[in-house]
Each structure stands twice: as structure tokens, then as C-alpha cells.
Amino acid sequence: MHRRHFVQTLLASSATVMTGLPLSATAFEVNKTDAEWKKQLSPDAYQVLRHAGTEVPGSSPLLNEHRKGIFSCAGCSLDNYSSATKFESGTGWPSFWKPLDNAIVTKGDNTLGMDRTEVLCRRCGGHLGHVFDDGPKPTGLRYCMNGVALKFRTA
């Protein structure tokens, strides 16, 4: 519990923390029916973004994306991360040490028998991944994102 509080405190300056609120009770700017999401997204992106799935580690082409640019939500196109904050974590998922301002929200996640902090797109509520407190300076955070939940464009 102490670790989660530490991460949430660090996140508060650049993200809204929604701990304790069920996802269904949270209003997002982009709301679609499950059928609409299923039609819009690839099967893998749908499973990750709308059902908090996880892609196979090392499977995302974005893992090796090193050009200057922006990583945005594959569901609603909100810009989430800059390539300037991407780093090689060795985990098999694209990792960042900081999100863009007003890009994400977080909530507590105790699935799989562990306390984690889930990262959601601020605009559509899509599951992007999790944030951990073992990242590099200056934040010490590792935003471990599912590449299938993101799309990339050069700057």
C-alpha cells in the first residue's frame, strides 16, 4: 500500500488519480458501446484497451520505435507520451518515464493478487498499461505500456 501511495503522489502533478473509483462510474469524453469499440479496433487492441488485456512481451513494433514523435491512444488518438521520455526498460513493453500533461489517469489495480497502478487514457478510459516506481531519473517511474494500445506518429 505504501508503494502505491508513493507512485500516486508522484503522478499527481501530471495526471489525475482516480483510485477507488470503479471504471464504470467514471465519465470519459469519448464513450462508445462495446460493439462500436469492437468494430473500430483490431482484436488485440480491443482486448487490451477495453478489457485490460496484456500483449505478449516483445511483440510490439513500438518497442523498437526510436524516431522523434508522439505515442497516442489507439482508441481515441489522444497524445499520451513523447518519444523524448521513452527508454529501454528490458521488460518487453514500450516504457516511458513521464506521460504528457493531462494525457492519462490512474487507478488502483489489485488483480493477479498484487497491488499495482493501472494507467488509462484520460479521454476514452482505454487500458494502456501500468506504472511502477523502478524507472529512471528524473521521475523514477516506469510507465509500462502495451504497444497495441498506442499508435505512433513522427514529430
pLDDT of residue 155: 83
Which listed CATH number (2.170.150.20, 3.40.190.10, 3.40.50.1820, 1.20.1250.20) goes with 2-154?
2.170.150.20
Q: How far is CA 10 from the centre of its chain?
A: 16
- Strands of 79-82's sheet in order across: 79-82, 69-73, 150-154
User: Quick one: cell of 129?
Assistant: 498499461
- Per the annotation, the verdict on 121 as an active-site residue is no
Q: Which of 76, 121, 124, 144 is catalytic?
A: 144
At a CB cut-off of 8 Å and minimum separation 6, what does 20 contact?
Answer: 107, 108
pLDDT of residue 140: 98
pTM equals 0.84
pLDDT per residue as tens, the chain (155 positions): 344 444 443 433 333 344 334 445 457 999 999 999 999 999 999 999 999 999 999 999 999 999 999 999 999 999 999 999 999 999 999 999 999 999 999 999 888 788 999 999 999 999 999 999 999 999 999 999 999 999 999 98
Q: How far apart are CA 104 and CA 68, in angstroms?
A: 21
At a CB cut-off of 8 Å and minimum separation 6, what does 134 contact?
Answer: 140, 142
3-class DSSP assignment, residue 11: helix
| First and final C-alpha spacing in the chain | 39
